[in-house]
Every structure is written in structure tokens, then in C-alpha cells.
Amino acid sequence: MAGVLQGVTVIELAGIGPGPFCGMMLADHGARVIRVERPGHAGRFGDAGNRDILNRNREVIELDLKDPAAIETLKDMAKSADALIEGYRPGVLERLGLGPDVLLGVNPKLVIGRMTGWGQQGPMAPLAGHDINYIALSGALHSYGRKGEKPSFPVNAVGDFGGGGMMLAFGVVSAILLARSGGVGQVVDCAMVDGAAILSAMTYTFLGNGQWRDERGVNLLDSGTHFYDTYETSDGKWISLGSIEPQFYALLLEKTGLTGDPDFAQQMNPAKWDELKERMTALILTKTRDEWCSIMDGTDICFAPVLSLKEAPQHPHNVARGTFVEDGGMVQPAPAPRFSATPAPAPKLAGR
């Protein structure tokens, strides 16, 4: 298989959510990822079976890790692997007889990626949780939502995938680079609460510099302003505006017929934001989404229509870039990012 990670071998102990996402990221870019499933579970993830996009591009084997013979098989696999990733609660790997001391004993260069919600240590480490809980404890969830309303979680993108699986993929590749350049193997302790916190680094920058009020929906990037928000159109669809910089804001005023309005000239006056948002809301409601596209597309307003999951793969920009691909009747996001010399191969669903 081609790809920037060609020649890297990763053992993935099957799990759900962020672990498989990490495995997908590595496999998409050429790593040989061997997914270890319980007997009878290969290709049966939830209701998706082999149509689970997160499980694409894998080799799959079945091992009963309660069987000592299977444990020995896994140890043998680890001898020639670059990494092993797992998403068990802390202590489970050790109880199976596959703790870091054992695995590093058979392969001192092995990278052991451990994906949890709360981390390997800390008072909450042994407890269950989900994305919504991890982003809540990190402070991130507090900043998502509208003024005066309850926190609004962005499905499970921030904890499971951005702060979890993506962070684990970064950690594993980084540790492999060190091991291959003369260093040693090690454990990568990837906690979704840590990942969600670091994804909020810029928000904490604003807060620490007095540029962010510690409440929802009143700040520059959290729907507090009239120039960075989503707006409903007359046909019940939506558009997005992100006209922060003065030159982009000037274009927004031009295209909406508001140039010269003394109130809208006060772009960065928080005392005016609520009033201006009401006026912008009423104005955007006067046209359909397509009509606004015809006015704002191709400009530097920082504009895009809010597309549904079914619409997004058909947008001309996404089509031109190949942002979405199809395999086995499943439309799915293409591997990302793009590499000029070692492009990722076309993804294949499990079992294909």
C-alpha cells in the first residue's frame, strides 16, 4: 500500500470511537494496521458491520485475549510492530498480561498508544464517560452555545475525534519517529479530557488576556457577534458568515446593502452586537440560501452555505478536490491531509 506511512506496522486492539479513528488515520496514509477483534466480532462493529468508515483500510484477525495462546500470539506480533494502540480502561491491558512492561520487554522500540477519556492516572481515571463528559471537564463545553442558553455540544467531534483519535495518531507517529531515530519505545497516554483542553488553547489565550468573557454567546467566536454566526434564510436553510477582518466586514456591508449605516460601522462595539444581530437576522431572512450564494459566493466576505451531510459531497469545491469518495456504496470523507509525493491510496471499507 502506498502512502507516507508505508512501512509502519500498527496493532490495533479493537474498540469504538477514537481508537478506530486513530487506526483509520494511520491506515489511510499507508500504515499496515492489523485490527485484533474478539472471536466472532470481526466485521460486526455495532450495526454498521463492514460499512463502518472508521474501520476502513485494515487487516483483521480474531484473537481471544483471555486465552494464553492468543496472548503469546500477540506478543509475537508486537516483536516486529512499530506500535500497538488500545482503548481499554486503565489496568485492563495489564490484567490481560500485556502491560507496557511486558510489551516493551519483547520489543523495546514499541510505541504503546493508550486511548482513554480521563487518562491513565488521576481520581477519575477508572470511571466511565463519553465525549460530552470529557469536553465538559476540560472547560471546552462551557464555551459552546448561545447567550443565555444551555451548552451545545458539537456531536462527538471535539472529545472523541479531535481531542482523542487525532491526538493519539499524532502521539503515536511522533513516538515512532523517536524510536526509529535511536530512541526507545514508550507509552503515549492520550486522554480525551487533555485533548479537548489543548484544542481550547486559543480560547484560554483570549481569556488570559482579558479578551474573552467566561460565559457563552457573548464573545468574538462563540456567536456573540453579528458578523461571525449562522443565519437562517427565507427557505428554511442556513448560511455562515465569518467577516472578522475590516476588509472582509466592509465587503459584507457592501453585499448586504449596509455600507454607510452608522450602527453597522461600529463593528467591534460589543454593546451594539445584540441589536446588529437582530437586524442581520431579519435581513438574511429576506432571501433564499441560493440567492445569498449568488451574491456572496466568490468574494472574500468569508461566507459559505451551511450544507447538509448529503449536500456537502456534491458541492463543486468538494467535488474538485475529491474531498469525498465512494466505496462499496458508502460516501465517505477522503483521507486527509494531502501529501504531494506520497498520496494516500483510495480507501477501502473493511472486507473489500
Give the catalytic positions in this structure: 130, 160
* Contact by Cβ (8 Å): 83, 110: yes
DSSP 162: I
* Contact by Cβ (8 Å): 239, 288: no
Identity of the amino acid at 252: L
Cell of 71: 496472548
* Contact by Cβ (8 Å): 178, 109: no
* Contact by Cβ (8 Å): 44, 66: no
Query: Within 13 Å, how many C-alpha atoms sit on residue 350's CB side?
Result: 24
* Contact by Cβ (8 Å): 175, 168: no
* Contact by Cβ (8 Å): 194, 170: no
| Secondary element (H or E) of residue 175 | helix 166-180
CA dihedral 204→206→209→215, nearest 10 degrees, is -80
